[in-house]
Structure 1
Amino acid sequence: MGLQEEFDEHAEKVKQLTKKPTDEDLLILYGLFKQATVGPVNTSRPGIFDLKGKAKWDAWKAVEAKSKEEAMTDYITKVKQLIEADAAAATA
């Protein structure tokens, strides 16, 4: 399986988690996903009243130096961690 296929598979797996990831984890996933699929930030930072938009933009900007492949690999790793945590919580 190639990196793109594994990335796509994990992008679907994250939607099947039984426990919602923390906001911090969601922002990490968002930034890595955008970097992997779009590349470096290509929009201006949202305005002062758009707190959610600014947080998402900042998360994407934080990983802007990563290549598409690095972002995909980090995304897959993060999803695997969340799946393991989800499974551990389900058995606890």
Structure 2
Amino acid sequence: MGLKEDFEEHAEKVRTLTTSPSNEDLLILYGLFKQATVGPVNTSRPGMFSMKERAKWDAWKAVEAKSTDEAMSDYITKVKQLLEADSSAAST
């Protein structure tokens, strides 16, 4: 399986989590996903009254130096960590 297919599979798997990831983890996933699928940030930073959109933009901007493959690989790693934590929490 190629990296792109593995990435798409993990993008689906993240939806199966039984516990919601922390806001920090969600922002990491968002930034990596956008970098992997869109590339470097291509919009201006939202205004200070759009705090949620601004946080998402900042998360994406923080990883814009990564290549598409690096972003996909990091995204897969993060999803695996969250799935592992989710399964260990469910078994206790």
TM score, norm. by length of structure 1: 0.99
Cα distance between partner residues in 2 of 1:88 and 1:52: 30
> Which 5+ residue runs of structure 1 have no aligned equivalent?
none
> Which 5+ residue runs of structure 2 have no aligned equivalent?
none
Cα distance between partner residues in 2 of 1:13 and 1:48: 33
**CA RMSD of the aligned region, Å?**
0.3
Cα deviation, 1:27-74, whole Å, max 9, x if unaligned, reads 000000000000000000001100000000000000000000000000
Cα distance between partner residues in 2 of 1:48 and 1:68: 29
- State the number of aligned residues: 92
Structure 1 stretches of 4+ with a deviation exceeding 3 A read none
Q: How does 1:46-85 map to 2 (within 5 A)?
A: 46-85=46-85
TM score, norm. by length of structure 2: 0.99
Q: How does 1:3-18 map to 2 (within 5 A)?
A: 3-18=3-18
Identity of aligned residues (%): 76
